[in-house]
Chain A
Amino acid sequence: TQLLEQSPQFLSIQEGENLTVYCNSSSVFSSLQWYRQEPGEGPVLLVTVVTGGEVKKLKRLTFQFGDARKDSSLHITAAQPGDTGLYLCAPGSSNTGKLIFGQGTTLQVKP
């Protein structure tokens, strides 16, 4: 059973478009992380959200943590081909350090 459900699973858009991907759960988390994996590479941490309702911005990427700390969203403005990759969410690692990822959203941005 997946702790986190990500949607959509696949998204193909044109350069310049906006998009939002979602990470949902029935569980409450103390924190949630977003990673991006580019083809041929390992995942890289984008952001950690901790407080319910928190909004963090990373250039054209806006991350939001739900008020109840059960869900999160990632909004990309004016997507570029360099945004292409697999976007993964995971509860922040606890004392065990283990990351249990959602299914991921594969984003393809076409020039």
Chain B
Amino acid sequence: SAVISQKPSRDICQRGTSLTIQCQVDSQVTMMFWYRQQPGQSLTLIATANQGSEATYESGFVIDKFPISRPNLTFSTLTVSNMSPEDSSIYLCSVLNFENTEAFFGQGTRLTVV
């Protein structure tokens, strides 16, 4: 299993500002992902965080809005840029186990934009 720590756990931000969310894993993992969960909804994949190269974004998500860094195999950040109230969501970091058979998730970052 993998233990994932996300920071911050929650934040309230002013519109127009940016927030960077950190994800730290207790072991080296190949694959890391970022998901968004809007209020009362399921999880939607934002992007795959690639170590040493640019993230791979899903349809509807762009790098300018959600820049992602992954400097090594245990750490990644997601920035939510130029925030609006529509960005109010829970953002979750996820990794796969070595066999790629199970996903582990952080507790999420609950973001409220006012």
Contacts and interface: CB of A to CB of B under 8 A. Distances in A.
Given A93-B103, A97-B96, A42 B45 contact: no
Given A96-B48, A97-B33, A99-B94, A43 B43 contact: yes
A101 interface: yes
Interface string A75-111: 0000000000010100011011111111110100000
Interface of B: 4, 30-31, 33, 40-45, 48, 92, 94, 96, 100-108
Contacts, number: 57
Interface residues of A, number: 23
A41 B94 contact: no
Contacts of A97: 30-31, 33, 48, 96, 100, 103
A106 B94 CA distance: 21
Given A42-B108, A99-B94, A48 B101 contact: yes
